[in-house]
Structure 1
Amino acid sequence: MKDYVIGLYEKAMPNTLTWREKLECARFFKYDFLEMSIDETDEKLKRLDMTKEERKALVDLMFEVGVPIRTMCLSGHRKFPLGSEDKTTRERSLKIMEKAIDLACDLGIRIIQLAGYDVYYENGNEKTREFFLENLKKSVDLASKKGIILAFETMETNFMNTVGKAMEYVKKIDSPYLGVYPDCGNITNASKSLGEDVIFDLKKGHGKIFALHLKETVRGKFREIPFGTGHVDFNEIIKTSYEMGVRRFVTEFWYTGEGDYKEGIKFSKDFIDRKFEEALKDK
C-alpha cells in the first residue's frame, strides 16, 4: 500500500460537471482526493458564500462517493491581492482569505495554497511588499485559529518563483501554519532561467513543504503543457520531496475544451504513477 496520496486538480475536468461527477471521476481514475479551485472568477468566488446546507451536502457527498476534497487552490487573490496599494482591494483580499479559511474548515480541507503574488495586475514596489507582509500575518493568524495550513504556490513572476523566495516570507512570519506548496513546473522554469539547480532550490523548503503540485512546463511557458513533453525532471523531484517527508501531491493540468477530458486524465495519471514507481522503486 502506497504511503503517499495524489489529488486531482478540479480544472482538469470540464467546469460544467457537478460536484458528484467530479468526485466520481477522481474515484474512477484512482485519485485519493480532489483539489478545489477558488480562482478570480465571480463563479468560483461565490463558493466562499456557500450556505451551511450546501456545505453539509458537499461533505455528505464526499462520504458517499468516497473521495474527499482536501486541498484548495486559492488563486482569487490574483485579482484582489494582499499587497494592493488600494485599501478597498486589500480589505476585499482579507475578506476572501477569511471566507476561504472558514470554508476549508467546514469542508475538511487541510491546506490552502496561496498564490505567491504581492500584486499581479499592478506594478509591485516596496509598498506592495509591505502591505503583502502585513496582510499575510493577519491571514496566518486567521488560519491558525481554525487549524488550517496556508502554503505558498511558487509562481511564474519574479516575486516568488522559487522555493527560496517563498521561504523568506515563511521565515518572517515564523508560524507552524505557513509553509510552501511548490509548483514543480514553475520552479523548474525559474531555476533554468537563473542557471541554478531545481533540486537545490527544492531543498531550501526542508520541513516546510506541505504538498507539491506536479506540473509540466517548457521554457517560457507555464500552463497547458502535456506531461512528458516538457523539461521537468519528475523522477528526481518526486524522489527528493519524498525523502524530505512530503506525502501529498496534486497533478496540475487543465481541460482546455478539446478532446475527451477523461482520456487526458487517464494519460496524466498513468504518467505520474509511472514516475512514482520509478522514483521510489528503492523505497
Structure 2
Amino acid sequence: MLKCINQWGFPESTPIEQLFEYSQAAGYDAVELNLNPSGSVGLTLDTTATEAEEVGRLARKYGIKLRSLSTGLLWGAPLSSQDEDQREQGKRIVSKQLELANVLGMDTILVVPGVVNAEISYNDCYRRSQEEIGKLVPLAERLQVSIGIENVWNKFLLSPLEIARYIDEFNSAYIGSYFDVGNVLQFGFPEQWIRILGPRIKKIHVKDFNTKVGNINGFVTLLSGDVNWPEVVAALREIGYSDTITAELSPFEKAPLQMIYDTARHLQFITDL
C-alpha cells in the first residue's frame, strides 16, 4: 500500500512545488490534491488542462504519485439540495474534478453525495443525490475516472450495507466507495465495513478517533485513538486493496509541518502491519 498525505495537511498557502518537495522528504509515495475555490493555491475551479499538466510535471519531478482528487466545495453546493442552482453547481464541481483527474492520470475523485438536515429528508437526500450523480456517470465512464462516495458525518449512508446498495444501484464500475476509516468509528467498526464493501472500495482515507470524546473533537493523530489498525490492515489485505492510504489531518498549530513527518512514520507502521 502507498503512503499518501492530503493537501489539507499543509499550511493553506504552501506552494504546490514546495508541498511535493516536503512530501518527498518525509517519505510519502503520493499526495492527494484538492479542488479548491478560485484564487487558491493548487487546483481550482479555474485551472486549465495546461496548468494541471504543469502540476503533474512537478509531482513527477519529486517522484510523487497523484492517485485521487478530493474537494470540500460540495458542502456549499450539495447534490441533495432543494435548490436546483445549488445542485447544478455541485455537478459542475464534480465534472471539474473528473476532468482534472483525467488530465493528471488520477483514477478516483472523492464525492460527498449529500447532506441530511432539518430541511433535507433522508429519502430526498438518497433520491436527489443518486439522480444527480447518475447524470455524471457517462462522463466518469468516458474519462475512466471513478467517483468515490465518502462516508462522512453528514447523517447519510450510515451503514455499510446501505452504502453497498447505494453504489450498486448505479450499475457502473466507475461508482465506488471512498472509505474513511476514522469517520465510521463512532457508530461502527471500520474493519467490518471494509469486508462488506470489498471491491467497491476505490480509495482509503485514514485518521484516528477517540470514542470517549465522541464528537468532532475526538479526531486525533494516527495511532493515538481507538482504531484497531491491525484488524483494519488485515481487512484491506483480505479484499486485495493495495492502493493509497491517505492521511487526512490538519497541520499542528505550533509546528505545522511536523504533522507531515510524524504521520509519514505512523503510516509506515500501519502499512507494515
TM-score by length of 2: 0.90
Distance, in Å, in 1 between the alignment partners of 2:26 and 2:160 is 30
- Name the structure 2 match of 1:251: 247
Identity of aligned residues (%): 20
Letter of the 1:80 partner, please give it.
Answer: A
**SS of equivalent to 2:147:** strand
Gaps of 5+ in 1: 192-196
1:151 pairs with 2:148: yes
Q: Which of 176, 182, 186 is the aligned partner of 2:183?
A: 186
Provide the secondary structure at the position in 1 that maps to 2:169: helix
Q: Does 1:73 align with 2:70?
A: yes
Q: TM-score, normalised by structure 1?
A: 0.87
8 Å CA contact 1:156–1:222 kept in 2: the answer is no
Partners of 1:139 and 1:72 in 2: how far apart? 16
Aligned to 2:221: 226
Tell me if the contact between 2:3 and 2:268 (Cα under 8 Å) persists in the aligned partners: no
Determine if contact 2:109/2:147 at 8 Å carries over to the other structure.
Answer: yes
Q: Do the aligned residues in 2 keep the contact of 1:83 with 1:90 (CA within 8 Å)?
A: yes
Counterpart mapping for 1:35-46 below 5 A: 35-38=32-35, 43=40
Q: Which residue pairs with 1:93 in the alignment?
A: 90
**Farther off after superposition, 214-223 or 261-270:** 214-223
* 1:161-181 Cα deviation digits (max 9, x unpaired): 443332121111021101111
Structure 2 residue 202 is matched with structure 1 residue 210: yes
The change in CA–CA distance for 1:123 and 1:206 in structure 2 (over 3 A counts) is same
User: What is the aligned partner in structure 2 of residue 83 from structure 1?
Assistant: 80
* Distance change (3 Å), C-alpha of 1:77 and 1:121: farther
CA displacement, residues 113-141 of structure 1 (integer Å, 9 cap, x when unaligned):
11142456953343332211101111222
Which gives a bigger RCO, structure 1 or 2 (Cα 8 Å, sep 6+)? 2
TM-superposition CA deviations, 1:221-268 (whole Å, max 9, x none): 346512232111112101211221111211121115x12223212212
Question: Aligned residue for 1:33?
Answer: 30
Contact 1:118-1:132 within 8 A present in 2 as well: no
SS of residue paired to 1:181 = strand
Structure 2: 5+ residue runs without aligned partners?
none
Say whether 1:177 aligns with 2:174. Answer: yes
Q: Which one has the bigger helix percentage?
A: 1
